[in-house]
Amino acid sequence: MVENTSKVKRNANDAKTNAEAERSISAKSKKIYPREVHGLFAALRTAGVASLLGFFYIVPWLQWDGRQALLFDLPERKFYIFNMVFWPQDFIYLTLLLIIAALGLFFITALAGRVWCGYACPQTVWTETFLWIERKIEGSRAQQMKLDKAPNSFRKIRIKFSKHFLWITFSIFTGVTFVGYFSPLRELAINFLTFEIAPSETFWIFFYALATYGNAGWLREQVCLYMCPYARFQSVMFDQDTMTVAFDETRGLPKGPRKKTVDKSDAGLGDCIDCTICVQVCPTGIDIRDGLQYQCIGCAACIDACDDVMDKMGYDRGLIRYTTEKILLGGHTEIMRPRMVVFGLVLLATIAGAFYSIVTRIPVGIDVIRDRNSLYRETNEGLIENVYIIKLLNMDKQDHTYTLTAEGIPDLILKMDVTDISVKSGEVVELPVRVQVDAYNLKQRSNEISFTLNTVGFEKLTATEEARFLGPAFR
Amino acid sequence: MDDIPLIQRVIAIIWPSFITGGIATVLFTVAFDPAEIFIDYDISRLGIYTICFFLFWILGAITATATVYFLKPGETINR
Ligand code: SF4
Ligand code: SF4
């Protein structure tokens, strides 16, 4: 099927130039073998990859106060971040964090293009690592292509086997580490090595390993092309002042091969010698000389590659470089433009707000659950009674004693079996309580009441929660 | 639609539904403690989260499959 359509396509494309036709087909199927690059940006990327991977693999091993420093304990429903503990009730902070991350990404993108993609995106980070392993095992770009073309042989199978073996081992290691953010890694690692791991953890380890292996080993640039939403709306965030990787057409064209000894102006040529090295190094397989494309992840591999060529030819570096559209058109670029100022201010305000609310967070929580079995009942004294379960959360680092009050209906009586409500640090206590009122004080069937929790000795530690009090339909 | 590569179509089905499945699971488990709902079953919380996630994912994938299917331009149908 696919074969057929591409043949039809090819016929239909006859009118187009060869190069164009080849490109549209290659975009579909051809495997990309990025050539290795050296240079300033390659070094920066290696630094980025090494520090981010180091961070990812080391952090879950850190301990704090006798527990894992960074742990999203899903079974216990508590998130530990160094000395702070977050609860599902603190969901708002997660939302804030995501908003800050998104704003930060907008800001950086408007300023400097897709630097995130080129240096810090997990997809790039793991793909680079997998490429590195591949190069260690299979050799250079040319050797890899030759190997793939060669018929199966013992040598080919051995090489392929070693590569996949290393990839898979590394992926599983990644999977264990990933699950270690959610389930204490020290135990997990021991259980893993002794095959005593719980089924759902096993499942997630292999699921994550498979995702790593598939995304970094096989899909690679396809993830950027088809899975990444960010790549698709880059045009919304870019403007003429955004820094991007670009080919300087005025300087480079007309392109063409020439001997180093030939004077380019005599030959009527620009600086581009059409060696296509910039295309060979590109991890997404595009030709940057065609202009800005959404496939470009801004990795600057082509800059490093072309600078090398320029050095060899004795031309100035920077035929491909980080620049802005305005500069290429002969203008100059403002960094402090309105868009940046607005993005920057919103970003700062959100960070400040999040910081403030975390610092002033009240470490006590209350949750009211109505007893679902009965709407209400009448007591022997003729009062209307509702039953609730009050959940008290002590999110503080010390134990506390609390008092509970309720209000909202005149002459409301709050009854509970315990008198002293003490909750240990980091614990939840469930307290059954009964609220009784005189039916004459009920204006309607469903009435609003509120429970307030006060901490003995700490006036500021208080929390209030609303609830419904149900009674008979009256009058 | 035939010029959308197969891989892109597959990704369009399993990937957005993966994300929404994840979000739905987070929202659901923040709102309800699953251990209270499944109190009668002997299953760990992580196990419940996993099952929740897959149910949401499958649901999303079914929707996405239908979307991809109905995306086919009208003039190419029944020909
Ligand atoms: S690497 Fe530089 S000189 Fe070579 S083709 Fe690309 S732009 Fe032209
Ligand atoms: S065009 Fe250059 S910067 Fe863009 S992805 Fe390719 S190599 Fe990286």
Residue among B4, B17, B30 with most chain A CBs within 10 A, to mutate: B30
Q: Which letter does DSSP use for residue A457 in this model? A: T
Q: Span A259-286, mean pLDDT?
A: 86
Spatial separation of the C-alpha atoms in residues A434 and A416, rounded to whole Å: 6
Nearest to A109 by CA among A244, A261, A204, A208: A244
Query: What is the SS3 assignment for A17?
Result: coil
Helix orientation angle between A122-138 and A141-149, rounded to the nearest 10 degrees:
70
CB of A249 shorter than 6 A to ligand 1: no
- Ligand with minimal distance to A124 CA: 2
Spatial separation of the C-alpha atoms in residues A4 and A10, rounded to whole Å: 10
DSSP states along A385-399: EEEEEEEEEE-SSS-
Could you tell me the residue ranges of all domains in chain B?
8-77
Q: What is the pLDDT of residue A21?
A: 40
b/e A243-261 (16+ beta carbons within 10 angstroms → b): bbbbbbeeebeebeeeeee
Query: Which amino acid is present at A8?
Result: V
Nearest CA to ligand 2 atom 6: A282
Of A200, A204, A226, the CB nearest to B7: A226
Of A5, A203, A222, the CB nearest to B7: A222
The ipTM (two decimal places) reads 0.78
Partners of A198 on chain B (C-beta within 8 Å) are 44, 46
In chain A the domains, ranked by start, together with CATH numbers, are 31-228 (no CATH), 364-470 (2.60.40.10)
Contact A75 B45 (CB under 8 A): yes
Nearest CA to ligand 2 atom 1: A288
Between residues B15 and A9, the one the model is more confident about: B15
Name A446's bridge partners. Answer: A470
The vertex-A225 CA angle with A305 and A244, nearest 5°, equals 45
Nearest CA to ligand 2 atom 5: A296
Q: Of A284, A303, A304, which is best to mutate to test ligand 2, by the most ligand atoms within 8 angstroms of its C-beta?
A: A284
Structure token pair of residue A53: 């991977």
pTM as predicted:
0.79
Residue-wise pLDDT tens digits, A182-232: 888 998 999 999 988 888 889 899 999 999 999 998 988 888 888 888 888
Q: Ligand 1 centre from A285 Cα, in Å?
A: 14
Residue-wise pLDDT tens digits, A126-167: 999 999 999 999 988 889 999 989 888 899 999 999 999 999
Contact B3 A9 (CB under 8 A): yes
Q: What is the pLDDT of residue A157?
A: 92
